[in-house]
Structure 1
Amino acid sequence: MGELSGKVAVVTGGAAGIGAATVERFLAEGARVVIADTDRVGGASLANAHGAEAIFQATDVSDPAQVEQLVAAAVDTFGALDIMVNNAGVPGVMHKSFLQDDLADFHHVMGVNLLGVMLGTRNAGRYMAANNGGSIINVSSVGGVMAGGGVMTYRASKAAAIHFTKSAAIELAEYDIRVNCIAPGNIPTSLLATSAAKMPPEAGERFTRGVREAMKADRPLKREGVPGDVAEVALYFGSDRSCYVTGTVLPVDGGTVAGKVLKKRNFSDKTPAAAHSNGERRPV
C-alpha cells in the first residue's frame, strides 16, 4: 500500500471500465487523482465517492483547450502532475466489410484515440519537463498490434498511438519523462457493444457474443481479463518500479498476441515406433 503516495495522476476516460479501475487502483495506492471524462454523471459520482482525494474534470480529449484545462486543473488543485494516463477511447462503427465503410466516424475516432493521446502527452509533458519528469501511460489495444478485419479506423488509430508512444519516449527522455503503452485485449468493457450499436438488437448481441467466443478461442490463458488487470500494469508504469522503463508496449491480453492456440491432438498409448504389427521399430 502507498506505492503512489504523494503523487498526482490524471486518468482520461476515467468514469468507467479500464479508466475507473485505474482510478480506484491509484487511489488505493495513495495517489490523488483527476478523473477526466465526457460522462459527467459517472465521473462526478466516482470522484465524490473518494472525497478530497479525487476531482472530476469534464473533458473531451480531442479538444486542445479542454486538455490544457485538464492539466491545469490537476496542478491548481493538487499542486503537481506526476502521472498522465491517456486512456480515453472510442471504438468506431462496425461494418460488414471495409468496402461498405463510409468512414463517417474517421475524424471522431482519430480525434479521441490518437489526437487525444498526443494532446495529453504534450500538455502533461510540458509540465513534467519543467518539474523533474514523470510518467505518461498511453492505452492502446492489441488491435493496434495485430492486423485483423473490421473497425479499420479503430485499428489504425491504436497502431498510430503505439508508434507515437515510442517516438515520444525517445524525445522526452532527456526530461526524465517516461512514456509507455498498454495494449489491452479480451477485456470486457462497453467498447465492443458500442461498435455494434447501429445493428438491430438481436444482431448486435449475436455479434458481441461471437466476437467474445472467437477471442476466447484465440487466447492461451482461458481466464477472461478484467479492467483491474490493466490497472495493475498502469500502476507499475506509474510507480518508481518502472523508473528505467520507457518506450515499451505491454500487451495485457492473456497471451493473444503471442500466437494462435494450437488444437490439441489425440495420441494413442502406443508410440509410432511400437505401432508396427511386426514389432520392428520405425527408422528415425
Structure 2
Amino acid sequence: MSDELAGKVAVITGGASGLGEGLVRRFAAEGAQVVFGDVDAERGKAVAEELGSAARFLPCDVTDLSQITALVGTAVGEFGGLHAMVNNAGISGTMHRRFLDDDLADFDAVLRINLRAVMAGTRDAGRHMAENGGGSILNLTSIGGIQAGAGVQTYRASKAAVIQFTKSVAIELAHHEIRVNAIAPGNIRTSIVRKSAAGEDRERLEAFEAKIRTQMRDDRPLKREGTVDDVAEAALYFATDRSRYVTGTVLPVDGGTVAGKVIVRRS
C-alpha cells in the first residue's frame, strides 16, 4: 500500500460486507479515516474493531435519509472533513422466471436503496464539499444498468437511473470542484446473485448460482473472474488526485463484458 489517501476522510455506505467491505478495507489501508454504515450492525462493528482507529462504524439504513446525513456529519464532526463519498449500498430485488410474473412488490424498496439513497448521499456530501474546496463522489451502479438483459428488471432500471443521475449531477457540481463518477461492476463474486433468488431451496439455489456464474464466464472476454479488490482499486483511483480531471464518467469493472459478445473461433 502507498498511503494514497493519507490525511483524507471517506464515507462509505453498505460497508459491512461484499464490495463495500472491500472498499472500507482498501481505503483504510491507504491511510484514510473511514466512516461507514450498514444495516448489518454486528458485521459492521466487527470490521471496525479489526481496523481500529482507521474506521468508525455507524448502523445505517439508507432508506432513512437522516441516517445518511448522520454518516456525513460524523465524518465532518469527528475527523474534520470529508474528501470522498462512496454511495455503495444496494440490493438486487427478487428474480422472477418471467417479467410477466413480477408483482413489482419490491419496486419501492429497490428504488429507495439503489437510487434515492445515492441521490441523498451525493447531496449531503456535496453540501459539505461545496463549501470546503471540493472532493470526490463515487456512485456504485452495475453493468446491469448499461447492458440490457432479462431478469431483475427493477434492479436494472435503478442502476441505469444511477448512471443518468451521476452524469447529470457531475455537470452541476463541477463548478464546486466536486467530481462525481460511477463504477459499474460486473461478474464480481459477491452474495448479490444468491440474494436475488431468495426463497429457493438450497439445492436449487446452488444450481441457479452455478448457472449464472457459468453464463457470466461465457460472456466475459477476460476469463479471470473479477474480485472485490478489482473494484476497490478502481474506487481508489476516483478517490485520489489521480482522477482530478475526471468527472461524469462510468467505468465498467467487468472483464470486458459490456464491450461486446465473445467471438468463438473455430480451429
Asked if Structure 1 and Structure 2 have the same fold, meaning a TM-score greater than 0.5 normalized by the shorter chain, the answer is yes
Aligned equivalent of 2:14: 13
Residue 65 of structure 2 corresponds to 64
How large is the RMSD of aligned CA atoms in angstroms?
A: 0.7
CA contact (8 A) 2:36 2:71 kept: no
Where in structure 1 do 4 or more consecutive aligned residues deviate above 4 Å?
Answer: none
1:167 aligns with 2:168: yes
How far apart, in 1, do the equivalents of 2:5 and 2:51 lie?
16
State whether structure 2 residue 185 is matched by structure 1 residue 197. no
For 1:96 and 1:15, locate their aligned partners in 2 and report how far apart those are by CA, in whole Å. Answer: 30
| 2:37 alignment partner in structure 1 | 36
Structure 1 match to 2:244: 243
Q: Provide the rounded CA distance (Å) in 2 between the counterparts of 1:208 and 1:110.
A: 24
Equivalents in 2 of 1:22, 1:70: separation in Å? 16
Query: 1:201: Cα distance to partner?
Result: 2.0
Aligned partners of 2:135 and 2:78: how far apart in 1? 18
Q: CA deviation at 1:124?
A: 0.5
CA deviation after TM superposition for structure 1 residue 203, in Å: 1.7
Matched, 1:211 2:206: no
- The farther-off stretch of 207-216 and 194-203 is 194-203
SS in 1 for 2:56: strand
Contact 1:93–1:198 under 8 Å retained in 2? no
SS at match of 1:57: strand
Any idea what the Cα deviations from partners look like across 1:8-45, whole Å, max 9, x if unmatched?
Answer: 00111111111111111111111000111111011111
Q: Quick one: distance in 1 between partners of 2:28 and 2:56?
A: 12
Q: Does 1:127 align with 2:97?
A: no
Q: Report the residue type matching 1:257 in the other structure.
A: V
Aligned residue in 2 for 1:277:
none
Question: Residue 73 of structure 1 aligns to which amino acid in structure 2?
Answer: T
The answer to whether the 8 Å contact 1:61/1:88 transfers is: yes
CA distance in 2, matches of 1:153, 1:221: 28
Unpaired runs of 5+ residues, structure 2, are: none
Amino acid at match of 1:8: V
Structure 2 CA distance for aligned equivalents of residues 241 and 263 of structure 1: 37
Bigger radius of gyration: 1
Q: CA deviation at 1:150?
A: 0.2
The amino acid of 2:219's aligned partner reads D
What CA distance in whole angstroms lies between the structure 1 residues aligned with 2:51 and 2:77?
Answer: 19
1:260 and 2:261 matched: yes
What does 1:133-172 correspond to in 2, within 5 Å? 133-172=134-173
Superimposed CA distance per residue, residues 72-131 of structure 1 (whole angstroms, 9 cap, x where no aligned partner): 011111111100000011010010000000000000011100011001000000010011
Residue number in structure 1 paired with 2:222: 221
Amino acid at match of 1:196: A
**Aligned equivalent of 2:86:** 85
TM-score using structure 1 length: 0.93
